[in-house]
Structure 1
Amino acid sequence: MARSLLIVSRQAPWSGPHAREALDMALAGGAYDLPIALLFLDDGVFQLQRGQQPGALEQKDLGANLQALPLFGVESLYACRHSLQTRGLAEDTLLLPVQVLDAPGLRELLDAHDEVVTI
């Protein structure tokens, strides 16, 4: 049986290549039917914000990649409640449906996976 992988995406979409790398890793793993979950933590929750205009920073929109995750079998999507709240993001305004976790839920999520990669 394949080992489960949790990818923790902690970077804002405009802060460099890390957000895109986390998504690419999730999409690639999903294409090979690996059990993958994706957690948006810290500034990574900004990836879930609707209405981004990355062209102003000469970057590509991550929205299409995010919306493709379920098509590649990556359906376990999570976000940190504290990260959302401290950045002024409401769960009902996010680009994708995610399961919002508090601190105990985050610990359980981390413990439930064989491998954890933070990007």
Structure 2
Amino acid sequence: MAKSLLIISRQAPWAGPGAREALDIALAGGAFDLPIGMLFLDDGVFQLAPGQQPQSLEQKDLSANLQALPMFGVDELFASQHCLDQRGIRQLTLPAVCVGDAEISALIDRYEQVITL
């Protein structure tokens, strides 16, 4: 049986390859029907913010990859409420469950394997 996997994405979409790599792992795992969840922490919550303009930073747009997550069976999306509040993000481009700091540890414990990027 496939092991469940939680991918913790901590990088902003324009801060290097980490955000793209996290999405690529999630999409690849979803294609093989692995039970996958994603948790957006720290600057990783910027991936869920609307109105991004990556072209102005000469970066690739990750929004298509994010929108594809549910199509690949990656339906369990979580975002740190504390990190969203710190960065002033009020709206999300995807339906992510906002979790408090106390819930994050329990969330991580639900998964058999965890990858942090």
Q: Give the TM-score normalised by structure 1.
A: 0.96
Corresponding residue of 2:50:
50
The alignment partner of 1:116 has SS state of strand
CA distance in 2, matches of 1:62, 1:85: 22
What letter corresponds to residue 107 of structure 1 in structure 2?
Answer: S
Q: Alpha-carbon deviation of 1:58?
A: 1.0
Aligned positions of 1:61-80 closer than 5 A? 61-80=61-80
Corresponding position: 1:103 with 2:101: yes
Corresponding position: 1:5 with 2:5: yes
**Cα displacement string for residues 66-113 of structure 1 (whole angstroms, at most 9, x for unaligned residues):** 0000000000000001000000011xx111010000022111110101
Corresponding residue of 1:21:
21
CA distance in 2, matches of 1:29, 1:100: 23
Alignment equivalent of 1:112, drawn from 93, 100, 110: 110
CA distance in 2, matches of 1:79, 1:49: 11
Which runs of 4 or more aligned residues in structure 1 lie more than 6 Å from their structure 2 counterparts after TM superposition?
none
- CA-based RMSD of the aligned residues comes to 0.6
The alignment partner of 2:60 has SS state of coil
Aligned pairs, number: 117
Q: Alpha-carbon deviation of 1:35?
A: 0.5
CA distance in 1, matches of 2:74, 2:36: 6
Identity %: 62
**Cα displacement string for residues 22-43 of structure 1 (whole angstroms, at most 9, x for unaligned residues):** 0000000000000000000000
**Cα displacement string for residues 9-68 of structure 1 (whole angstroms, at most 9, x for unaligned residues):** 000001011100000000000000000000000000000011100001111111111000
Corresponding residue of 1:85:
85
